[in-house]
Amino acid sequence: MSSTSTAQPTQGPGAQRELEQRLAALGPKDTTRGFLFGSALEVVKSHGDLEALKRCTEAAGGGSFTAFFSYPVNTFLKLTYACANELSGRYGGFDGAMQQLGFRVAPRFLESTTGKMLLSLVGKEPKRLVDSMPTAYKTAWDHGTCSLVWSGPKSGRLTYVNAVPVHYFAGSVLQILAAAQLKNTKAIGRQLSLTESTVDFSWE
């Protein structure tokens, strides 16, 4: 599997400036589900660095998160940036770490009651699974949009309007394709603006 992005690397002071710009684009009604928070913290926890885990938890306000309760997207952004900075050395930089956070969140959703119901509805047909992704997005986010356009029987483009960087969504798309046990999957993310991005995906 592979995923690339044309977005510029966001490390060091630039990452903080970008985070502040993304936070400024959010409103009080922009929320997302707790399982995204829990998944990000689990990635950090899995590497056994308790100090890093503490710093990430503090970045998210120090609270705990219930899987399908709603929490502010601005808190989630602070958490993901903190986690990506902590994990950047393990995953080839900030962007690679952000992609890993997205890759690891998809199983949490698919294992949930809603995710299992979705999988049972789509069966073993991968196209139906991808078709369901905009609906799954609405389950996880009360913020932005996700839309899908097919370019071929095994390729298409997902367009996101969301303050979270594209690398996160490229990772989650890769994991969804992996859940369908597809071969030679690709997810190429492009950041079009601060809050709009695309992920071109394909498989063989």
Tell me which residue range forms the domain holding 196: 2-202
Q: Distance (Å, rounded) from C-alpha 100 to C-alpha 104?
A: 6
Residue 149: helix, strand or coil by DSSP?
A: strand
Q: Per the structure, how many domains does the chain have?
A: 1
From 86, 61, 73, select the one nearest 24 (Cα to Cα). 73
Q: Distance (Å, rounded) from C-alpha 107 to C-alpha 21?
A: 30
Q: Distance (Å, rounded) from C-alpha 106 to C-alpha 66?
A: 16
The answer to whether 41 and 64 are in contact (CB under 8 A) is no
Beta strands per DSSP E along the chain = 2-5, 31-33, 70-72, 141-142, 145-152, 155-161, 186-191, 196-202
Mean pLDDT to the nearest integer, 77-97: 95
Comparing 78-82, 126-130, 134-138, 194-198, which segment has the lowest mean pLDDT? 126-130
**pLDDT tens digits along 65-78:** 998 899 999 999 99
DSSP strand pairing (196-202 vs 31-33): unpaired
Q: Determine the pLDDT at residue 100.
A: 96
Q: Determine the pLDDT at residue 106.
A: 75
pLDDT-based confidence at residue 124 (cuts at 50, 70, 90): low
DSSP strand pairing (141-142 vs 186-191): unpaired
Mean pLDDT to the nearest integer, 3-13: 44
From 114, 97, 109, 117, select the one nearest 170 (Cα to Cα). 97
Residue 145: helix, strand or coil by DSSP?
A: strand
| CATH number for the domain harbouring residue 91 | 3.90.1520.10
**pLDDT tens digits along 137-195:** 998 999 999 999 999 999 999 999 999 999 999 999 998 888 777 889 999 999 999 99
Greatest distance between any 2 Cα atoms in the chain: 47
**Residue 9: pLDDT over 70:** no
